[in-house]
Structure formats: structure tokens, C-alpha cells
């Protein structure tokens, strides 16, 4: 099937956020081979134009939109190099999966579907504009810098959602917090012994789309364990690393810390007890949590007082759902993701992301996170963030799509908002009169190595999209 041939061709091209040149060149060649006009704006977004089919010349133009980049994560054992290796896609029943990496269905399947629509001789439609943006996953850079003079459409169908049968008309806004703590490493005391503690095999996932599932956060687990130990025993950190991307729930983390040898028995008993407690708490959400302990040798460690302050700052930093929406039942209103911890050059760097449908709540939770992290003495910075996409209950496009879905499938579409970030709100704010919706096929465990895309759902959504284009006026 053409759409999956397209997707596999896209997946063969490295396209981590910020490295979209290869996929853009691929799409430019595709446009040229099919005699589609196109334009590339200054930031690197690609707009491709498809003429109306016969009899649809007077239909107003419509934009189909998705992003070219993907979140790249891999298993700890994988040797995959995202700068040069393509994604190894394989079929598993009704699903497409990737071997040892994220799949990139977010948002490669949008690009694949647009390619299918543009080249399908049986698809009837008015003038179409494909908007392929860059660096959506790292700050919606393409949408913020889109050259709107290249866009004539005033209706936009975004294809970056992950739930068949749902028409999204709003999304959360977000912001990031970064904390940097400069420390000094000293010779580890001779009376101390060092252990490496790793937590792995968590599900992780999208910090917007799957935060409501309350999965375990590897960084928070380690912080909790070390906080518990530090209340009774002197602890000195030598390393702490975890997480992968700001919009990914951390699925692995490792800490290296030292303790007085006199407390070895008590330390290991406490570790065993804490591991059992955590496994029990997450036995439903994250049944495969694995702890690996290993005695290691280090020469240096960080002062006990500084180590404890840093551990406690991570322990205090909020993570997960902060509040549910009263305006739209069933969706998260505000959340936080303690996303990344790195230790390099005697500096701890912590990165977090916060989301909310309400701007003041987004700013509030960001300030709470910043204050928690600052308790270690770290220098903290709150990013500018991006705005929410306020739902428009009077959207004529949403009403039309909902009616068309019922006519085609016999089922009622759910019209709602999503906690994940989408580019629609930014594009709407830049183009006066733009009316947007977001749809997409079923994709699970996005931004993780467990990501999988439904083949049948993709075909259903593609059929719905072509139906929309045929009847929309």
C-alpha cells in the first residue's frame, strides 16, 4: 500500500529534530518528480502545492499539515546512530514497530498520508497546500517561524494526532525549566564504598499524550531512593544521569553514590525494601521496572551536603498530572515532566517541561518547578514557552468534519482538546481567519521504544481524509 511505502521511505532518512535537511530534500525531489510547485521558507519549512482535480477548481484551498522531525530514543543496548541510520521498521500483526528505537509515526505518518493524497489519481479535491514544518518536537520552531505569505488556505487539517475517531480543536501550551548546579568533586573518603544504581525498563512515553497514565519516572524513582537513604546515612554522589528528551517521560536513569562501609548492610537492606515498595506501587502502570546494583570504584565524589541538597531538589520537583480540566472532562489541564538530568564538567543540568491549557497555570507550575530545583543552589531559568490552542466551539470545520465522520463510519466522532502540544494554535494566531482541526490514526507509546502504529487505523483515517477532501466546499 502506497502510504506505507511512503512511510518506510521516510523512515529510512535520519530526521531527528534539527536534522531535517535529508527529509526535506527527499520531499523536494518527490515534489519535482510529480510536478508539484513548492517553496522553502527561511527557517526550513517546506510548502508543497497540489492543483485541484477536475471540477474542484473553485473550491477554496485547504492546508494539510504535519512536521518532518521525530523524537529519537533508543534502548540502552542499541548502537543505532540517529545522525546516519534510518529507522528499522517492521510489521507486527496490525502494527508497525521499530527495532530498538522510537518509530517516528509521530509525525512521519502525516507526511506519508499527504504524499498519498497528493499522488492518488482517484482522490478528488480542491487546491491543496502541504505544510511540512521543522523542529516541532523541540519547541514548535517551524510553526513559530512559518512564512505565512506562502499560505493561501483558511482551513487546515493537522495530521499530528494519535487517536482515530477524535477531532481535536485545542491543545495545551507549555514551557521549559533548566537548572544548572556547579559542584566540586573531591577525593572520595577511604572509608567509603561506591555503588551504581540503575533503574530501567520503564514504559516512558509522551509527556503530553501519556502523562495521564501516571507511569513511573526513572529520575524521580532514583531521587526518592537517594532521598530516603540520605535521611539516615551520609551519601556522596559521583554521577547522576537520566532521561532523553524534554517531552519524554524518563524510562531509565543511573546514579553513582558512595556511603560509609560501616553502613553497607543497612544500605542494601534499605535499597531492597525501597525497590519492592516502588515495584508494588507501579505493578499496574510499569510492571517491568528493573533495578541493577553494582559495586564500582570511583576516585572522586561530591560533598555530602551538596549531594543531599541536589537529591532533595529532584525529590521536591513536581512530576505528573497536577490538575484535570473542569472545562473539558477527561483531559489533563496541567502537568509537569522532570525530563532530563545530566552530569558533565562538574555541573548538574536538569531539564523539565510543563504543560497547561491555561497560561497562568502553565506559568505557576513552571515557577513551582523552578523554586524546587533552586533549593540545591542551582541557577534556574524558565523558558518563554508556547501558547495553548484555545478550543473554538464554533469551528465550522470541526462541525463539518464531525458530521462527515458520522456519515462515513456511522459512528460519532469525539470533539475535544488534547494535553499534548500541536502546531495549530500557533499557525492560527499567525494567519487571520484560519480554522483548524487535528486528526490522526491510533499510535501508542509515542516518544518511546515501544511506539507502535496501527495499520488498519491509518487506512481508516486516510479514507476519512480523502472523503473530507471530496465533499468539503
Residue 54 confidence (pLDDT) above 90? yes
Using CA atoms, how far residue 85 sits from 229, 231, 263, in Å, is: 42, 46, 47
pLDDT at site 55 = 96
End-to-end alpha-carbon separation of the chain, Å?
28
Mean pLDDT, residues 375-383 taken together: 97
Mean pLDDT, residues 252-260 taken together: 97
pLDDT at site 327 = 84
Q: What percent of the chain has pLDDT over 70?
A: 100
Among the residue ranges 139-153, 236-250, 289-303, 383-397, the one predicted with the least confidence is 383-397
Nearest to 353 by CA among 323, 328, 320: 320
For residue 410, what are the contacts with CB-CB under 8 A and spacing of at least 6? Answer: none
Residue 369 confidence (pLDDT) above 90? yes
Cis peptide preceding 107, ω within 30 of 0: yes
pLDDT at site 59 = 97
Mean pLDDT, residues 338-366 taken together: 97
- Model confidence at 320, pLDDT cuts 50, 70, 90, reads very high
Reply yes or no on whether 88 is catalytic.
no
Q: What φ, ψ does residue 289 adopt, rounded to 5°? A: -55, 130
pLDDT at site 329 = 85
The vertex-30 CA angle with 25 and 31, nearest 5°, equals: 95
Cβ proximity of 20 and 69 under 8 Å: yes
Long-range CB contact pairs, 467-471, < 8 A, 24+ = 467/404, 467/408, 468/157, 468/400, 468/401, 468/404, 469/62, 469/117, 469/123, 469/124, 469/125, 469/126, 469/128, 470/123, 470/124, 470/125, 471/404
- Model confidence at 76, pLDDT cuts 50, 70, 90, reads confident
Given 16, 20, 41, 69, the catalytic residue = 69
Cβ proximity of 56 and 47 under 8 Å: no
Q: What is the pLDDT of residues 275-298, one digit of tens each?
A: 999 999 999 999 999 999 999 999
The vertex-324 CA angle with 319 and 325, nearest 5°, equals: 140
Cβ proximity of 348 and 180 under 8 Å: yes
Mean pLDDT, residues 365-384 taken together: 97
Residue 328 confidence (pLDDT) above 90? no
pLDDT at site 280 = 98
Q: What is the pLDDT of residues 392-417, one digit of tens each?
A: 889 999 999 999 999 999 999 999 99
Cβ proximity of 185 and 299 under 8 Å: no
- Model confidence at 385, pLDDT cuts 50, 70, 90, reads confident
Using CA atoms, how far residue 158 sits from 1, 143, 266, in Å, is: 22, 12, 56
In the structure grid, which three cell numbers stand for residue 261, read together?
A: 562501609
* Cβ atoms within 10 Å of 408's Cβ, excluding its own: 16
Residue 384 confidence (pLDDT) above 90? no
Using CA atoms, how far residue 180 sits from 119, 190, 252, in Å, is: 50, 29, 21
- Model confidence at 473, pLDDT cuts 50, 70, 90, reads confident
Q: Is 146 helix (H, G, I), strand (E, B) or coil?
A: coil
Q: What is the pLDDT of residues 143-196, one digit of tens each?
A: 999 999 999 999 999 999 999 999 999 999 999 999 999 999 999 999 999 999
Instruction: State the chain's mean pLDDT as an integer.
Output: 96
Q: What is the pLDDT of residues 182-218, one digit of tens each?
A: 999 999 999 999 999 999 999 999 999 999 999 999 9
Cβ proximity of 278 and 288 under 8 Å: no
Domains of the chain listed by start with CATH number: 2-172+388-471 (3.40.630.10), 174-382 (3.30.70.360)
In the structure grid, which three cell numbers stand for residue 98, read together?
A: 521499530
Distance from C-alpha of 103 to C-alpha of 87, rounded to nearest angstrom: 7
Given 20, 136, 275, 435, the catalytic residue = 136
In the structure grid, which three cell numbers stand for residue 332, read together?
A: 489533563
Residue 443 confidence (pLDDT) above 90? yes
Q: What φ, ψ does residue 222 adopt, rounded to 5°? A: -65, -40
Reply yes or no on whether 69 is catalytic.
yes
Mean pLDDT, residues 101-119 taken together: 98
Residue 269 confidence (pLDDT) above 90? yes
Query: Kind of pairing, strands 253-260 and 379-382?
Result: unpaired
Amino acid at each position: 500500500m502506497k502510504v506505507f511505502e511512503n512511510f518506510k521511505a521516510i523512515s529510512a532518512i535520519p530526521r531527528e529534530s534539527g536534522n531535517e535537511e535529508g527529509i526535506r530534500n527527499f520531499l523536494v525531489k518527490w515534489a519535482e518528480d510529480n510536478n508539484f510547485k513548492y517553496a522553502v521558507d527561511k527557517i526550513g519549512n517546506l510548502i508543497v502545492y497540489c492543483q485541484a482535480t477536475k471540477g474542484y477548481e473553485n473550491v477554496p484551498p485547504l492546508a494539510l499539515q504535519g512536521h518532518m522531525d521525530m523524537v529519537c530514543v533508543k534502548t540502552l543496548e542499541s548502537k543505532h546512530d540517529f545522525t546516519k541510520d534510518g529507522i528499522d521498521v517492521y510489521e507486527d500483526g496490525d502494527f508497525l514497530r521499530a527495532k530498538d528505537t522510537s518509530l517516528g509515526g509521530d509525525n512521519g505518518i502525516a507526511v506519508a498520508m499527504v504524499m498519498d493524497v497528493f499522488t492518488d489519481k482517484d482522490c478528488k479535491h480542491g487546491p491543496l497546500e502541504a505544510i511540512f514544518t521543522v523542529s516541532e518536537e523541540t519547541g514548535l520552531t517551524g510553526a513559530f517561524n512559518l512564512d505565512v505569505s506562502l499560505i493561501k488556505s483558511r482551513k487546515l487539517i493537522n495530521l499530528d494526532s494519535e487517536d482515530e475517531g477524535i477531532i481535536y480543536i485545542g491543545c495545551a501550551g507549555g514551557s521549559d525549566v533548566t537548572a544548572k548546579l556547579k559542584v566540586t568533586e573531591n577525593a572520595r573518603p577511604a572509608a567509603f564504598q561506591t555503588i551504581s544504581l540503575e533503574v530501567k525498563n520503564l514504559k516512558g512515553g509522551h509527556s503530553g499524550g501519556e502523562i495521564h497514565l501516571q507511569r513511573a519516572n526513572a529520575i524521580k524513582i532514583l531521587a526518592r531512593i537517594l532521598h530516603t537513604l540520605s535521611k539516615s546515612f551520609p551519601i556522596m554522589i559521583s554521577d547522576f544521569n537520566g532521561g532523553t528528551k524534554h517531552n519524554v517521560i524518563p524510562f531509565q536513569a543511573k546514579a553513582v553514590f558512595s556511603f560509609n562501609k560501616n553502613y553497607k548492610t543497612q544500605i542494601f537492606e534499605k535499597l531492597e525494601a525501597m525497590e519492592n515498595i516502588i515495584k508494588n506501587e507501579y505493578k499496574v502502570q510499569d510492571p517491568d521496572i528493573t533495578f541493577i546494583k553494582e559495586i564500582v570504584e570511583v576516585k572522586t565524589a561530591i560533598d555530602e551536603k551538596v549531594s543531599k541538597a541536589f537529591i532533595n531538589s529532584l525529590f521536591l520537583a513536581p512530576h505528573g498530572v497536577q490538575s484535570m480540566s473542569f472545562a473539558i472532562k477527561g483531559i489533563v489541564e496541567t502537568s509537569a515532566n522532570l525530563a532530563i538530568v545530566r552530569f558533565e564538567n562538574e555541573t548538574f543540568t536538569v531539564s523539565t517541561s510543563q504543560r497547561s491549557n491555561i497560561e497562568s497555570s502553565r506559568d505557576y507550575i513552571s515557577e513551582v518547578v523552578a523554586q524546587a530545583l533552586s533549593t540545591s543552589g542551582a541557577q534556574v531559568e524558565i523558558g518563554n514557552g508556547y501558547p495553548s490552542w484555545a478550543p473554538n466551539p464554533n469551528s465550522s470545520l470541526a462541525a463539518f468534519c464531525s458530521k462527515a465522520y458520522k456519515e462515513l463510519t456511522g459512528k460519532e466522532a469525539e470533539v475535544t482538546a488534547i494535553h499534548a502540544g500541536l502546531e495549530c494554535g500557533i499557525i492560527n494566531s499567525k494567519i487571520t481567519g484560519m480554522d483548524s482541526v487535528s486528526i490522526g490514526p491510533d499510535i501508542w507509546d509515542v516518544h518511546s521504544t515501544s511506539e507502535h502504529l496501527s495499520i488498519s487505523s491509518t487506512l481508516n483515517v486516510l479514507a476519512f481524509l480523502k472523503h473530507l477532501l471530496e465533499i468539503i466546499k
